[in-house]
Amino acid sequence: MTLPRDSTTSRPGVWGLIWPGGRAVLGPIVGGDARTVQRRFSVVFGRPAPGVRAVIDHWVYGRDPRQDLGLEFRDVTYPSSLGPMPAWFMPGRSSVWAIAVHGRNASRFETFRALKAVHAAGLPVLSISYRNDEGAPRSPDHRNLMGYTEWRDVASAIAYARGQGASGVVLYGYSMGGGMVVNAVRHDASFVRGLVLDSPVLDWNATLDKQAGQRSLPSFVTAVAKRILSWRTGIDLSSLDARTYAPHLRTPTLLFTTDEDALVDNGPSYSFARLAPRGMVTHISAHADHTDAWNVDPARYEKALSGFLTPLLSARPEESFP
């Protein structure tokens, strides 16, 4: 497939391509010139007409686990304080489940990219929706609260897995979902064998400051805006700073960050890894944008992921929570 050359179409790795009535998966770059890029591609559905307007999709997939990944799945719901929450469950041979948690303003499709590697390692996968997602129960205020309350739905998903016979779980969170799973472990780590964090929001103060700086807002305006946010929502932003928990972390953690993250300040992730007990956090950085570590080098990402997950499945629970 030939595309106009720009910073998006010339990125290495694997990406989705969406056009009206169709979708494809873009693979490696195989040619091109100063104005164009030629990439391998696989049409998912539809037929792209020459010159059709299309957009790059870093989630890559957008249908369901069977159609996109070749994984059998069931539509399930897990009980929560707000009512039944929808999820996709993909059976696996291990009794240790993976619970995949998407980020803010995202959906379960965000979690699809690495799920084949997770499933190949043997883990059943529960990819969840949570409060205020499309098709999920609404909270009384109908607001996304940056993980401040949403982590409770992760706790409910853990309870569901336990009730279904799981012997433990690995929590896998993207962006805000990464902050949510850390918050869940802060409250109760007893059933959690491991954490996988992809571009996690580990301190909302730092991320809001970064986003304000990108808009050239004066620091005093940002400070006032954060106070108003806390007043209107009841959120204590300081309570969402995961670095305060890092020295107490006893759950093996695989952390992916990207050095061109335009959305989330990854400085707190570096601090989290440094402050955690020695050997507790495996930190991998990629030359990519927010949550795109898999896209730019799927083989490297999945090798690290498989190497992290395999020992967790053979460890006794007490070995996972020293």
The predicted-structure confidence for 53-99, as pLDDT tens digits, reads as follows 999 999 999 999 999 999 999 999 999 999 999 999 999 999 999 99
Same domain for 281 and 233: yes
Please tell me the total count of domains within the chain: 2
Q: Which of 40, 57, 74 is the last residue of a domain?
A: 57
pTM exceeds 0.85 for this model: yes
3-state secondary structure of 84: coil
Same domain for 177 and 194: yes
Same domain for 74 and 35: no
Q: What is the pLDDT of residue 132?
A: 98
Q: Give, as one character, the DSSP assignment of residue 39.
A: E
Residues contacting 85, CB < 8 A, separation 6+ = 77, 78, 79, 128, 129, 130, 131, 136, 137, 153, 156, 157
Strand 55-57 vs strand 2-4: parallel, antiparallel, or unpaired? unpaired
Structure token pair of residue 48:
């792209």
Same domain for 52 and 78: no
Strand 85-90 vs strand 74-78: parallel, antiparallel, or unpaired? antiparallel
Same domain for 88 and 139: yes
CA-based end-to-end distance of the chain: 51
Q: What is the pLDDT of residue 93?
A: 96
Its domain, for residue 149, covers 65-320
Same domain for 313 and 177: yes
Phi and psi angles of residue 149, each rounded to the nearest 5 degrees, phi first: -115, -25
CATH code, domain carrying 117: 3.40.50.1820
Q: How far apart are CA 226 and CA 36, in angstroms?
A: 44
Same domain for 84 and 229: yes
Q: Which of 14, 37, 57 is the last residue of a domain?
A: 57
Q: What is the pLDDT of residue 315?
A: 64
Same domain for 138 and 37: no
Q: How far apart are CA 29 and CA 41, in angstroms?
A: 10
Q: Which of 57, 74, 93 is the last residue of a domain?
A: 57
Same domain for 200 and 267: yes
Same domain for 270 and 134: yes
Same domain for 202 and 302: yes
Phi and psi angles of residue 220, each rounded to the nearest 5 degrees, phi first: -70, -30
Whether 74 contacts 64, CB under 8 Å: no
Q: What is the pLDDT of residue 314?
A: 78
Q: What is the pLDDT of residue 316?
A: 58
Residue numbers of the chain with a pLDDT score lower than 70: 315-322
Same domain for 117 and 28: no
Strand 253-258 vs strand 281-286: parallel, antiparallel, or unpaired? parallel
